[in-house]
Amino acid sequence: MDRLDPVNRRYSLLINIDKTKVMALDGIACCILIQNEQLAQVNTFSYLWSLITEGGECTTEFCTRLSRGQTIGASLQKIWKSHSIPISTKIRLMKAVAWPVATYGCESWTLGKNEETRLEAFEVKGLIKSLRVSWTAKKTNEWVLNKAGVKRELLDTVKARKLAYYGHTMRKQGNCLELEVATPYARRFQAAATMLLPGEVTATSWLPTCDVVSARQCSYPVSALSGVHLPGKSSVWRR
């Protein structure tokens, strides 16, 4: 910043100190000055509609995404209450309007059991709004799915997108930061997979901190991972 600010001033470009923030990973304290004034350090930073935290975790971003998706769904109350619109059309509208907002950037999510449960709950809540089912009716999730005539697919869609992005990264050529980060993990997965039985080898969703999903479950071919075989048990690759 000491070199950037003088160059900007040479072309009459001024940096707004009040709007410029600093964030360091792992809670490291940093001191960056502009014109002898220290920039404020923050814990979270919004970049391209994604919320980046100093710990590098996606929990906050995940919750924010689902909240924005629920807000979109709540703004369509007139459509959900309409009797002239078929239920199938309402469900398609929910998938086309609310789901993309909720799953934006899901390729980098770390899916644990809690996140999977919340994704499934978000999907069922959208169906409940489409079916105009009151919360006092106390209907089960299976009843809602049967009434709508659909199966759970949001979680599988997210996992398939994560696998597609991983395969896209592994097929890149030349100097690529994403490939440099992912390659060591892929090699470790491949080495661990040799210790498993043939029926236990599945595909992973993204990096070692992510959950492991069967390729059959998400209907995405393992060949997309450029021949990288990955273990299906989280206890193996976490070691």
Residue 161 domain-assigned (yes or no) = no
Q: Residue 162 and residue 207: Cα distance in Å, rounded?
A: 10
* C-alpha to C-alpha distances, 44 to 4, 53, 65, 75, nearest whole angstrom: 24, 4, 15, 27
* Model pLDDT, residue 98: 94
Residue 160 to residue 165: CA distance in whole angstroms: 9
Q: Do 37 and 14 meet the contact criterion of CB atoms below 8 Å apart?
A: no
Flag the least confident range among 110-114, 149-153, 222-226, 234-238. 222-226
Task: Look at residue 119 in the predicted model and tell me its pLDDT.
Answer: 95
Same domain, 142 and 61: yes
Residue of higher predicted confidence among 132 and 51: 132
Q: Which of 116, 137, 152 is the last residue of a domain?
A: 152
* 132-153 residue pLDDT tens: 888 888 889 999 999 999 999 9
Q: Assess if residue 159 is contained within a domain.
A: no
- Considering the domain architecture, whether residues 60 and 11 belong to the same structural domain is answered as no
* Proportion of the chain above pLDDT 70, given as a percent: 76
* Residue 162 within any structural domain of the chain: no
Residue 164, in any domain of the structure: no
The whole-number average pLDDT for the span 190-212 is: 44
- Tokens 């009843």 locate to 143
Domain that holds residue 122: 56-152
Residue 184 lies in a domain: yes
233 with 184, same domain: the answer is: yes
Is 64 found in the same domain as 145?
yes
Portion of the chain with pLDDT greater than 90, in percent:
33
pLDDT digits (tens, 9 = 90+) for 56-100: 778 888 999 999 999 999 999 999 999 999 999 999 999 999 999
What is the per-residue pLDDT for 120? 94
- Residues 99, 141 within the same domain: yes
Shared domain for 93 and 128, answered yes or no, is yes
* 228 lies in some domain: yes
Is 169 a domain residue? Answer: no
Q: What long-range pairs does 127-130 form, CB within 8 A, spacing at least 24?
A: 127/91, 127/94, 129/73, 129/74, 129/76, 129/77, 129/80, 129/94, 130/80, 130/87, 130/90, 130/91, 130/94
Nearest by Cα to 217 from 202, 236, 235: 202
Residue 97: what residue type?
A: V
pLDDT at position 151, please? 93
Rounded Cα distance between 145 and 128, Å, is: 9
- 21 and 60: one domain? no
Whether residues 62 and 143 share a domain: the answer is yes
> In terms of domains, do 71 and 34 share one?
no
137 and 80: one domain? yes
Nearest to 87 by CA among 153, 151, 140, 147: 147
What pLDDT does 184 receive?
A: 65
**How many domains are contained in the chain?**
3
The answer to whether position 197 is within a domain reads yes
